[in-house]
Amino acid sequence: MVQTYKFSNAATDFYFNSSLKELGKIIDRKHTFFITDQHIFKAHEKKFKGLNTIVIPAGEEHKKQSTVDDIILKLIQSKADRKSVLVGVGGGVITDLTGYVASVYMRGIRFGFVPTTVLGLVDASIGGKNGIDVGVYKNMVGVIRQPSFILHDLALLQSLPQKEWQNGFAEVIKHACIKDATMFKELEQHQLSDYQKNKTLLADLVRRNALIKIKVVQKDEFEKGDRRLLNFGHTIGHAIETQYALMHGEAVSIGMVYACDIAQQLKGFAGKERVRSLIAQYQLPTHINFDAAKVFEVLTMDKKRVQKEMNFVLLEKIGKGVVHPIPLKRLESIIKKLQ
């Protein structure tokens, strides 16, 4: 069943708990170009038979301008025009690249997503931010433009490596921390394997998380207020992710624990141990030895910095995130003591 959610300038059709077979009803294959990575293509080769498909190398290191140029050249060679539609089939790297290319190719063509990872389903495909990294600076270049549709086919998760399952649950835990204490309790009562074995439990969790993100973005698409809460764990997370070659979910998990530490210091937050232990329960890391000076340097380039302050997301309690401006000097001394 399709559900349409409106954003400021566009609407996105969500096909929850659907199937790739339904795609034929949404797009015209002749005018559609699928963008995917080598791993997904190999795992689901039959599903791409007869489709115009552009396959790129897998990995965050390819979320950069040269990959955008490669895709655009292929679109030009294939005579893609303003009526063409791009469909990104993959995780966050693929959806970011697809949305970005579709937003700049011929000044903007339609696009949709079929997320193939938990992270993609609950987070990366939703919200319209599509961009690329520049060196160690993540998502430094990009746009905010909503996809026309997002189709969920949970059967695609069958080929997902265990590490990627864990990676996605970092964002699920993040949503629970900032917005949903009930979901936090539910996560405490389960293990990752429960969601892997029980499709109904998983479909319910995916949908609830997608809705958390949709509602936050609907309220604040251009990140002036509530949308900043989605950055919980991401400020330190982004600063350590590239430097220490961590997966996004790993970096965010460590970032969430440090953010809880800062919340404890600045807001008297009492739930740090519960957050730390939930992250560990879902087999995600909670700590890393980092070079504080280097991390601080990357962190000051973060888009959440406003002149001499950083808008840091802290927790008041589990299920209630808040944005708290921290002067950079203060943040520097806090970060140096975090280890």
Task: Report yes or no: 70 and 128 within 8 Å, Cβ to Cβ.
Answer: no
Residues 6+ apart with CB under 8 A from 199: 154
Q: Which is nearer to ligand GLY, 211 or 334 (CB)?
A: 211
Cα–Cα distance, 233 to 314 (Å, whole number): 9
Residue 208 falls in the annotated catalytic set: no
Q: Which stretch binds ligand GLY (CB under 6 A): 5-13, 127-135, 253-261, 262-270?
A: 127-135
Q: Which of 138, 238, 272, 324 is catalytic?
A: 238
Among 129, 145, 174, 228, binds ligand GLY (CB under 6 A): 129
Query: Is residue 124 near ligand GLY by the rule CB under 6 A?
Result: yes
Give how many residues touch ligand GLY by CB under 6 A: 5
Minimum CB distance to ligand GLY, residue 128 (Å):
5
Q: Are 58 and 39 in contact (CB under 8 A)?
A: yes
Q: What's the sign of the alpha-carbon dihedral 324, 329, 334, 336?
A: positive
Return the structure tokens found at 134: 């520049």
Q: In this complex, which beta carbon is closest to ligand GLY, that of residue 84 or of residue 98?
A: 98
Q: Which region, judged by CB under 6 A, interacts with ligand GLY, from 121-129, 167-175, 182-190, 265-273? A: 121-129
For residue 139, the minimal CB distance to ligand GLY (Å) is 9
To which H or E segment does residue 90 belong? strand 85-90
248 in catalytic set: yes
Residue type present at position 142: G
What does 154-215 look like in DSSP terms, one character per residue?
Answer: GGGGGG--HHHHHHHHHHHHHHHHHH-HHHHHHHHH--HHHHHH-HHHHHHHHHHHHHHHHH
Least distance to ligand GLY, CB of residue 125, Å? 7
128 near ligand GLY (CB under 6 A): yes
Q: Which of 74, 227, 228, 272 is catalytic?
A: 227
SS3 175: helix
What does the angle CA 277 – CA 282 – CA 284 come to, to the nearest 5 degrees? 80
Task: Tell me, yes or no, if 324 is annotated catalytic.
Answer: no
Indicate if 297 belongs to the active site: no
DSSP string, 120-149: IIIIITSSSEEEEEETTEEEEEEEE---SE
Known catalytic residue: 287?
no
User: C-beta of 56: minimal distance to ligand GLY in Å?
Assistant: 18
Q: Which of 115, 271 has the CB closer to ligand GLY?
A: 115
Which among 107, 224, 289, 337 is annotated as catalytic?
A: 107
Q: Please confirm, yes or no, whether 274 is among the known catalytic residues.
A: no
Is 62 a known active-site residue?
no
Q: Are 34 and 84 contacting, i.e. CB atoms less than 8 angstroms apart?
A: no
Residues that bind ligand GLY (CB under 6 A): 124, 127-130
Residues that are catalytic: 107, 129, 171, 213, 223, 227, 231, 234, 238, 248
